[in-house]
Chain A
């Protein structure tokens, strides 16, 4: 089982990320919990909704807006970072958490490197499938580079200017 970082440490990852089926092919569900391509899940919503062993994954160009009303049915959502420099996943994370109130596990998958973990955490991710060639023992350090931040995000709703004002008043 590959490793998965959560904020409480490193875990075995029980979930299988399922690729989109080829044209004309049926989706083959693996043994155990599975993350399905978001569009596939939606097309078969009646079959999968409410199952606590089925989640979805988004690619960076896909829009979480289309899933706004079904998020309660999903125990895990993964967002793919096809390349670590593709920053769309950060906005997707914030939208899922802040706008659509998603409460389940939000995973970063794909080209996930150590130096992006802190930003991902701030944008609402709470699980990370670090690229396997990276040193997982450094993840905790990298998740916590900063003890304070200027702007509001998912992990801290109060921007620093509000916290400063609260301290002086």
Chain B
């Protein structure tokens, strides 16, 4: 993982000093609230319903053990002893005091962490596949490119006051997309062209929220070294021509739609023609220099499927279930990727306590070269676990609450903090997730249902990605009452699609029953090999409508 040099350290320390200066002036009344607002947002600080909220970036999802321990300490010293992993490779604290935030940022800087541009109308934390660098099918490791984008976008002087927020995601696997690139402002896919050269397919103008859009491709192939100049061209066109008169029409997706993707692409190409050979063009050395931070750890020479593992799986059904659901194939023989779901029933999805953060730090050091990744499904990943240590890992972490064997299932719910914490929410989302998890507590049944994405958002800003859930739940407000609207058929995968609204919304207490009916329709209609999404796509929404509203 990337390690800071003197430049990175100095720039970050100066940023902390700058924010301290800004906070001091805000608290002294020299900065009006509306003047402080974009500055604090660009340092991760929201003022929320119950207390401020601080959002910290986890570039390309990676955390080291010392960073986890620092997050634990911060959560204890400045917060209420827990933290929340979000759907965008960030971590949030829900109760810091505004006056403490400069100190928190200073503590983060000591471990090469920050809250830069995690909010506000600027380029946000670049996200990617949590299996980057360890899985079998990727073209190359996407993380060095994410790091180059991080550096380029950090305090970019031209793009700190965009019309709206701006999110970039990178994917490198032909078969899968764990980064949901087609629903980002810019999605980048690492590809080889016909000549065998390496570069990017560029999607622009996807996104969720009020106006969900699956982003169109504006360039099939962008040569590798042109990455930053091309991004700069896109951002410049957006900065100049994106709508600033209406917040709800200010995202780049609206501009791309209004211009049409073809015309938008022409604008970008015209802009790019001027700057493609500018000093911002990447160099081979620059790429190689960053790549050397993402080299392999010190893997041992091992064999797949050690005998012990087979025996352990045969002897423990619980362990076997966990391996089946939560463990993925690793590119190195004898290793595997273990996903620890933070989706235990009764715990808000993505929440971890200070103690758990320290336990995670210990687990990474014991079992995964001291590193961990966080996922946009609000889970965490130990990416380099020895297969012969898997059982021991599982046993060690069971009492910690990390061994819930529900990855990818109906109870592995993506869920925003909702009305319990968020000032924007129309409705609570955590209790809905919990009620559904409680209803579906028979794990054998849940496994039998197979892969289902159930995503819950407490408002149309869609932090819970409800549009791309196979089953999406959206909290809506009706005359002060909380209701929930359901959509079916969404996907954030390669076959990205937006869910279709089922019909009128439901009261909270009805939600588990409604989900049960939807699942029943699936069970009644599925063929042997079908997933929920397959069945839905085959039979359409009507059978679900009929059953649910009968």
Residues of A whose CB lies within 8 Å of any CB of B are 84-88, 90-91, 94, 98-99, 113, 115-116, 118-120, 122-123, 135, 141, 145-153, 157-162, 164-165, 168-169
| Contact between chains at A85 and B121 (CB < 8 Å) | yes
A sample of 13 more A-B contacts (CB under 8 A), given A159-B152, A168-B289, is: A88-B244, A99-B274, A113-B35, A115-B39, A120-B157, A122-B158, A141-B21, A145-B17, A148-B10, A151-B156, A164-B7, A164-B286, A165-B285
Instruction: Please determine whether A151 and B14 come into contact, CB atoms closer than 8 angstroms.
Output: no
Residues of chain A within 8 A (CB-CB) of B162 are 87
A-B contact pairs, 12 of them (CB 8 A): A88-B240, A90-B161, A90-B239, A119-B155, A119-B158, A122-B157, A123-B157, A141-B21, A147-B10, A158-B279, A160-B7, A165-B285
Asked if A161 meets B283 with Cβ closer than 8 Å, knowing A85-B38, A115-B39, the reply is: yes
Q: Which residue of A lies closest to B151 (CB)?
A: A150
Contact A87 B160 (CB under 8 A): yes
Partner of A165, one of B14, B31, B151, B289: B289
**Using Cβ atoms and an 8 Å threshold, which residues of chain B touch A161?**
148, 151, 282-283, 286, 289-290
- B163 neighbours in A (Cβ, 8 Å): 87
Tell me if B152 and A123 are in contact (CB < 8 A): no
A157 & B158 in contact (Cβ 8 Å cutoff):
no
> Is B278 interfacial (CB 8 A cutoff)?
yes
Q: Which residue of A lies closest to B17 (CB)?
A: A145
Q: In the complex the two chains form, is A159's CB within 8 Å of B280's CB?
A: yes
Flag if A150 contacts B152 (CB, 8 Å).
yes
The 5 closest A-B pairs by CB, nearest first: A87-B161, A122-B157, A161-B286, A119-B157, A165-B285
**Distance of A117 Cα from B303 Cα, bound (Å):** 59
Taking A151-B151, A151-B156, A160-B151 as contacts, is the C-beta distance between A91 and B274 under 8 angstroms? no
The answer, yes or no, to whether B394 is at the interface (CB within 8 Å) is no
Q: A168 CA to B236 CA in the complex, in Å?
A: 32
Q: B130 to chain A: closest CB distance in Å?
A: 25
Whether the Cβ atoms of B239 and A91 lie closer than 8 Å is yes
**Are A150 and B155 neighbours in the complex by a CB distance under 8 Å?**
yes
- Alpha-carbon distance A119/B42, docked complex (angstroms): 14
| B286 A162 Cβ-Cβ under 8 A | yes
With a cutoff of 8 Å between Cβ atoms, the chain A residues found around residue B244 in the complex are: 86, 88
| Cα distance A19–B274 in the bound complex, in angstroms | 33
A86→B38 CA distance, assembly (Å): 12
Q: B120's closest neighbor in chain A, by CB?
A: A85
User: Does B506 lie at the interface of the complex (its beta carbon under 8 Å from any beta carbon of A)?
Assistant: no
Q: Does B11 contact A (CB under 8 A)?
A: yes
A169 touches B285 (CB 8 A): yes
Q: Are B289 and A91 in contact (CB under 8 A)?
A: no
Is there contact, CB below 8 Å, between B121 and A148? no
B498 to chain A, nearest CB (A): 30
Chain B min CB distance to A79 (Å): 13
CB nearest to A60 among chain B residues: B244
Instruction: Give CA–CA (A152, B14) in the complex, Å.
Output: 18
The residues of B that contact A145 with a CB separation of less than 8 Å are 14, 17-18
B158 touches A90 (CB 8 A): yes
Partner of B279, one of A88, A118, A149, A152: A152
Determine the chain B residues whose CB is within 8 A of the CB of A120 once the complex forms.
157
B154 within 8 A of partner (CB): yes
Bound Cα distance from A150 to B274, whole angstroms: 21
Q: What is the bound-complex CA distance between A169 and B288, given in angstroms?
A: 13
The reply to whether A162 and B283 contact each other, CB–CB distance below 8 Å, is: yes
Within 8 A of A (CB), among B129-158: 148, 151-158
* Pick from B30, B152, B158: contact of A94, CB under 8 Å: B158
* A146 proximity list for chain B (CB < 8 A): 11, 14-15, 18, 155
Contact residues in A for B15 (Cβ distance below 8 Å) = 146
Question: Contact check: which of A91, A150, A159, A164 meets B11 at CB < 8 Å?
Answer: A150
Query: When chains A and B are docked, how far (Å) is the Cα of A141 from the Cα of B279?
Result: 28
Q: Which residues of chain B (33-85) have a CB below 8 Å from chain A?
A: 35, 38-39
A119, B162: Cα distance in complex, Å: 13
Contacts of B121 in A (CB 8 A): 85, 87
Instruction: Give Cα A27–Cα B434 distance, bound, in whole angstroms.
Output: 68
